[in-house]
Amino acid sequence: MRELSDRDLIGRFVGEQDEEAFAQLVRRHRGMVYRVALRRCNGNHALAEDLAQSVMILLARKAGAAEKPFAELCRREFPVAVMGPGHDLVVPAELRFKSVDARRLVETVAASGDLKVKWIPEGRGVILYAGAPDSDVDSFLAQIGSVDVNERVAAARRGGWLEDPRVIPGLVKAARDDDTRVRRQARWSLGERLGWASAAILMPDKTTRLLQEEFNTPTRGGWRAAAGIAHLPRDAALGLIQTFIEKDDRAFSCITRCKNILPALRKTGGDDALALVLDIAENRTSDPRVLTEAFESLAERKGAAAIPIIDRILDSAPTNTSAAAIASRRTSAFGALAIAGDPRVWQWTEEYLQSGDPGTRHRAARALRASPGHKAFDLLTKALEFEDTSVRSAAVSALGEIGDSRAARLIEKRLQDDDASVQYVAVRSLCLLEKKKGLKLLTRVLGGHDERMRVAAVGAVGRIGGPEALALLAKALKDDAPVIRSAVARALGCLNGSAKVVSLLEQALQDEDANVRSAAVYGLSRLGGLQAMAALERAYESGPSDQRIKTALSRALGMPQTR
């Protein structure tokens, strides 16, 4: 019998969840991986064993990678930054379960979102961006260097709407301008509009200093700055986090709840980062969301050796902790334990799915989203038959996030569920299906009479994007129900900033319903390009009588807030 190739084995593992196929891959290559690791670790056998284990775990996770937000999926390959607030990219269904070269994956996903790709030398990362005309970039560069302060302020604002890496050096320089207004506007453009991640990849040294300053600003500035840390070089990222811990422990406890701090530690790796992860999990918070990230960081780094550490943290709960709280802590570890190969995770999941506490059952089903594979799929299939609607909803949501190819049929079936909340989650998950099939089902939902389901369908159409989605949204913008028109205005913000999209949102700005007008402001604020900015400026200069709309416009344009 012909010996199966690596490609054949990976295909069986990904397509059929054949764990023996993956075990054969491990046996075939672990020795080579260990020898390379030993050389890289200067003969340190324990460290080399750790590194080899981590490599094999990473192979398993990448080979069976489920549907995840694009930056989440790619962050362990290299830092990936998507410029602008309106892009929520996901891996196309046709590539979701195939072993694809990471560089090709980036190019394909960027193309699906009509984005360009800029590879940064020396493997520092990649930036996905919409791009701007040369004339607009040249005008910005000339204006940002002007001796006139008002021109620099205007340029710093305009730069935030030009989703193009060529504006970043000018904005970074303006962020240290002598004039307060220029500095504030440039930092708003970098943090609120373009995202610090792009600057962190393109200009790591100068951006590190800016992020350190932003950490000292109240609430929103610090949270936005946290998003850039994961994209900094390892030493810079660790230095920022350590400085922040030492400076203000209370502020750090708050910032750990921001989704970006632990992913930064997770990406940097190394014993010092692992020590910080342990410190967070053991001493700084009991928030299940933070613990989930910390536990998975430990499992990726230490493999099976993480299991006793996770057990110790789970067992450290006070003696008076309720059974529901204990279950919440334990379910936060399910994804990590599955990564580490702990068979107890499946026993606990089955046990908690049968719990008398509704919240525990819900969390058990929800936790399965972190454990793609046939065992999780089988448990979720059972959970779909529960009488408890919250469990069925969590199971549908988990199936969507896991992205198993068999999940599409089950999600479609739940469109006819007896409970409206389960139907709603199923509709929202349709954007994860193959594009043509997803749009077909969503068109059917949009033609129905249930406004709540139609609102969910509009949002899913926006996430799918493309010309077909735009045609559906343009038609829905004429709907008689204001709630549908509002949903459409928000969904249009997920598309590219073409003249057609901007025109539709300008129409929505004239809607008789205030909620629709407010949604149109939001939609335009998520678009990139000077056309969207100009539309917002025209609306602001027209002097809207509704104070809520005026405030929303000034915030979208980054103008100072006055009382």
| Residue-wise pLDDT tens digits, 293-327 | 788 878 877 778 888 988 888 888 777 878 777 88
Residue 133, both tokens: 């005309």
Strands (E) located in 397-440: none
DSSP string, 278-308: HHIIIII---HHHHHHHHHHHHHHHGGGHHH
- Which of the given ranges, 3-12, 155-164, 192-201, has the highest pLDDT on average? 155-164
Q: What is the mean pLDDT of residues 493-506?
A: 89
Domain assignment of residue 11, yes or no: yes
Domain assignment of residue 23, yes or no: yes
Please tell me the least confidently modeled range out of 185-194, 200-209, 214-223.
Answer: 214-223
Please tell me the least confidently modeled range out of 297-306, 344-353, 398-407, 475-484.
Answer: 398-407
* Number of independent structural domains in the chain: 1
Please tell me the least confidently modeled range out of 72-81, 239-248, 386-395.
Answer: 72-81
| Residue-wise pLDDT tens digits, 114-134 | 889 998 887 678 898 989 999
Question: Could you give the C-alpha distances from 55 to 220, 268, 338, in angstroms and in order?
Answer: 36, 15, 16
Q: Which pLDDT value is given to residue 192?
A: 85
* Contacts of 465 by beta carbon, 8 Å cutoff, 6+ apart: 112, 113, 114, 494, 495, 496
**Cα–Cα–Cα angle for 277, 281, 284, rounded to 5 degrees:** 105
* Contacts of 432 by beta carbon, 8 Å cutoff, 6+ apart: 67, 90, 93, 400, 401, 403, 411, 438
Distance of CA 105 to the CA centre of its chain: 16
Q: Is residue 207 predicted with pLDDT exceeding 60?
A: yes
Given 3-state DSSP classes, what are the helix, strand and coil percentages for the chain, each rounded to the nearest 5? 70, 5, 25
Tell me how far apart the terminal alpha carbons of the chain are, to the nearest angstrom.
79
Q: Which amino acid is at 293?
A: E
Q: Tokens 């453009």 label which residue?
A: 189
- 182 within 8 A of 548, measured Cβ to Cβ: no
| Residue-wise pLDDT tens digits, 13-33 | 544 455 566 667 666 666 666
Q: Is residue 522 predicted with pLDDT exceeding 60?
A: yes
- Helix (H) / strand (E) element for 116: namely strand 116-120
The more confident residue out of 76 and 20 is: 20
Query: Coil, strand or helix: which one is 129?
Result: strand
Q: Is residue 43 predicted with pLDDT exceeding 70?
A: no
% of the chain at pLDDT higher than 90: 29
Q: Is residue 373 predicted with pLDDT exceeding 50?
A: yes
Query: Coil, strand or helix: which one is 83?
Result: coil
Q: Is residue 227 predicted with pLDDT exceeding 90?
A: no
Domain assignment of residue 44, yes or no: yes
Q: Is residue 162 predicted with pLDDT exceeding 90?
A: yes
Q: Round the average pLDDT of the chain to a whole number and report it.
A: 79
Domain assignment of residue 480, yes or no: no
- 67 within 8 A of 97, measured Cβ to Cβ: no
Range of the domain at 36: 1-64
- 442 within 8 A of 457, measured Cβ to Cβ: yes
Q: Which of 362, 359, 361, 308 is nearest to 336 (CA)?
A: 308
Q: Is residue 358 predicted with pLDDT exceeding 60?
A: yes
- Which of the given ranges, 50-64, 110-124, 206-220, has the highest pLDDT on average? 110-124
- In the DSSP assignment, the letter for residue 465 is -
| Residue-wise pLDDT tens digits, 133-153 | 999 999 999 999 999 999 999
- 491 within 8 A of 473, measured Cβ to Cβ: yes
Q: Is residue 99 predicted with pLDDT exceeding 90?
A: no
CA–CA separation, 492 and 156 (whole Å): 25
Q: Which pLDDT value is given to residue 423?
A: 93
Residue 254, both tokens: 């708050």
CA–CA separation, 419 and 392 (whole Å): 9
Residue 266 burial (CB < 10 Å; 0-12/13-18/19+)?
buried
Q: Which pLDDT value is given to residue 466?
A: 84
CA–CA separation, 106 and 111 (whole Å): 9
CA–CA separation, 37 and 123 (whole Å): 20
Q: Which of 261, 154, 2 is nearest to 537 (CA)?
A: 154
Q: Tokens 């892009």 label which residue?
A: 87
Domain assignment of residue 46, yes or no: yes
Q: Tokens 């709603």 label which residue?
A: 424
Residue 138, both tokens: 């040249």
Q: Which pLDDT value is given to residue 70?
A: 45
Domain assignment of residue 30, yes or no: yes
Q: Which of 235, 177, 175 is nearest to 207 (CA)?
A: 175
Q: Which of 441, 389, 451 is nearest to 413 (CA)?
A: 441
| Residue-wise pLDDT tens digits, 259-304 | 556 766 766 666 777 787 887 777 776 777 778 878 887 887 777 8
Q: What is the mean pLDDT of residues 359-369?
A: 80
In three-state form (DSSP H/G/I as H, E/B as E, the rest C), the secondary structure along 26-82 is HHHHHHHHHHHHHHHCCCCHHHHHHHHHHHHHHHHHHHCCCCCEHHHHHCCCCCEEE
For residue 102, the tally of other CB atoms under 10 A from its CB is: 15
Q: Which spans in 179-233 are helix H?
A: 180-188, 196-202, 204-215, 220-229
Q: Which pLDDT value is given to residue 183?
A: 93
- 160 within 8 A of 193, measured Cβ to Cβ: yes
- For residue 505, what pLDDT band results from cuts at 50, 70 and 90? very high
% of the chain at pLDDT higher than 70: 74
The more confident residue out of 47 and 118 is: 118
Domain assignment of residue 58, yes or no: yes
- 160 within 8 A of 189, measured Cβ to Cβ: yes
Q: What is the mean pLDDT of residues 170-197?
A: 93
Query: Coil, strand or helix: which one is 128?
Result: strand
CA–CA separation, 337 and 295 (whole Å): 8
Domain assignment of residue 55, yes or no: yes
